[in-house]
Amino acid sequence: EAGVAQSPRYKIIEKRQSVAFWCNPISGHATLYWYQQILGQGPKLLIQFQNNGVVDDSQLPKDRFSAERLKGVDSTLKIQPAKLEDSAVYLCASSLDLSADTQYFGPGTRLTVL
C-alpha cells in the first residue's frame, strides 16, 4: 500500500513570498490532516479535513494560511505571505475516518523562510 505522499520535500523562500505544499493521502482515507512542526517542538495541528469539508481549523493562521481539499482526495496548503516564523516542517497525515486510531504520516516538507 502506498503511503502518504508530499511534495516538495524542501523549499527555501524569502519572507513575504508565497509557497504551496501538496499532499496525496492513502487511497480511501477520508480524513486528512496538516501539521506544523517547528524545530524542537511536537507537531501542531493546523487543519483537519473530512472528505472535502473542514472539521477543525482553529489553529490555522487564516490571515496568511489557506488549505483546500476540493475533490476530497489531494490537498494543498498555501502560505501567503510567508514570515520568518513559518520556517518549519509541514507534515500531512491521513486516516480512514475521524475516529480511526492511527494516522499515517507523510515525510513532510521542510520550509525555510529567509
Partner 1 sequence: KQEVTQIPAALSVPEGENLVLNCSFTDSAIYNLQWFRQDPGKGLTSLLLIQSSQREQTSGRLNASLDKSSGRSTLYIAASQPGDSATYLCAVKNSGGSNYKLTFGKGTLLTVNP
Chain residues binding partner 1 by CB under 8 A are: 4, 40-45, 48, 55-56, 91, 93, 98-99, 101-103, 105-108, 110
Q: Closer to partner 1 at the Cβ: 86 or 108?
A: 108
Shortest approach of partner 1 to residue 87 CB, angstroms?
A: 15
Strand, coil or helix: 64: coil
Shortest approach of partner 1 to residue 30 CB, angstroms?
A: 13
Q: Closer to partner 1 at the Cβ: 86 or 106?
A: 106
Question: Can you state the percent helix, strand and coil of the chain, rounding each to 5?
Answer: 5, 50, 50
Residue 44 dihedral angles phi and psi, to the nearest 5°: -120, 130
Cα distance from N-terminal residue to C-terminal residue, the chain: 37
Shortest approach of partner 1 to residue 93 CB, angstroms?
A: 8
Distance CA 84, CA 103 (A): 29
Q: Closer to partner 1 at the Cβ: 81 or 107?
A: 107
Question: Grid coordinates in use for 4?
Answer: 502518504
Shortest approach of partner 1 to residue 65 CB, angstroms?
A: 18
